[in-house]
Structure 1
Amino acid sequence: MKIRLICIGTLKKSPELELINEYLKRCRWKIEIKELTTRSDLTGESLKQFEADQILGHLADSIPLIALDERGHNPSSRELAKTFQELQNTGHSQVTLCIGGADGLHQSVRDRAWQMISFGRLTWPHMLVRVMLMEQLYRVQQILSGHPYHRD
């Protein structure tokens, strides 16, 4: 599976970046991270629209988009694995995931999403969500391969 992760904001050298790199090394799937800039001179809807334009500009029509959004479904790891299995079973060898900016995703990105998922109702630090997503992608890969990394 080829996965493209589109994120608003740039992650600089940090413990989070070290963890992301560790999961990238572990994962057999090809994962590309595309970081998009934000603008400090914009706020509210104009900022979300700017970020949406960037995200939408990096999407291919034929590749499903899974958006991380607080209004999304809160799947278990096994349910997320089933989602990826469904994608593979229906001929999709690629998927794009996106993480919006600190103010969330613009409606146009949510409308474009094939599916929206959430990491729960708690508020998480924006850059930590990337680490959590990378770990879940690694976990999904391990579940689908039958590896005992994931324990119920």
Structure 2
Amino acid sequence: MLLHVIARGKIARSPEGELVARYEKRIAWPLRLTELPESGGRLPEASSPVRNVVLDERGKALGSEDFAAILGDWRDSGIREARFNLGAADGFSSAERAEADLVLSFGAATWPHLLARAMLLEQLYRATTIIAGHPYHRA
């Protein structure tokens, strides 16, 4: 299953960008990172069937093992692509949240956009290692 991170804004050279690159290299599953402008831009065509995840502080806060279980279930049921959407500064509309298959939160706090992207990549890496039975999660 393709893990596809779609984020508004450019990460460029930054400490957060270095973290994203570090986890990008570690993830063994197919991974695609797409950066869109702050507004507008065109979403790449999805591989069907697809699941859409929206990151939003009003979403569901999942532990790493529960998040891994969802990804594993999607993969095992034939989902070809899981899209993880990080919005612009104003976030997502209620309609966009309602259309998502999962609204995911990293807690009630609002995180800086670039840090949220790095946190997402780490959690994707952690989830894939949990699914593979790798000891990273317990280390």
Settle same-fold status: TM greater than 0.5. yes
In 2: Cα distance, 1:107 partner to 1:122 partner: 18
SS, match of residue 137 in structure 2: coil
Shift of 1:30: 1.6
SS, match of residue 134 in structure 2: coil
2:49 and 2:81 in contact (8 A); partners too: no
Q: 1:68 aligns with which of 49, 55, 61?
A: 55
2:52 and 2:85 in contact (8 A); partners too: yes
Q: 1:117 aligns with which of 100, 104, 113?
A: 104
Unaligned runs of 5+ in 1: 40-49
Shift of 1:88: 1.4
- Describe the superposition over 1:38-88 as per-residue Cα deviations: whole angstroms up to 9, x where unpaired: 25xxxxxxxxxx5xxx47x44536311011111110000000001001101
Corresponding residue for residue 31 of structure 1: 31
SS, match of residue 149 in structure 1: helix
Unaligned runs of 5+ in 2: none
SS, match of residue 122 in structure 2: helix
* Pair 1:103-2:90 in alignment: yes
Q: Which amino acid aligns with 1:34?
A: T
Shift of 1:111: 2.5
Q: How high is the sequence identity, in percent, across the aligned residues?
A: 38
Corresponding residue for residue 47 of structure 1: none
Q: TM-score, normalised by structure 2?
A: 0.91
Corresponding residue for residue 44 of structure 1: none
Q: Which amino acid aligns with 2:99?
A: R
TM superposition outliers: structure 1 runs of 4+ over 6 Å: none
* Pair 1:135-2:83 in alignment: no
Shift of 1:94: 1.6
Aligned length: 138
SS, match of residue 122 in structure 1: coil
Corresponding residue for residue 21 of structure 1: 21
Q: TM-score, normalised by structure 1?
A: 0.84
Pairwise CA RMSD of aligned residues? 1.8
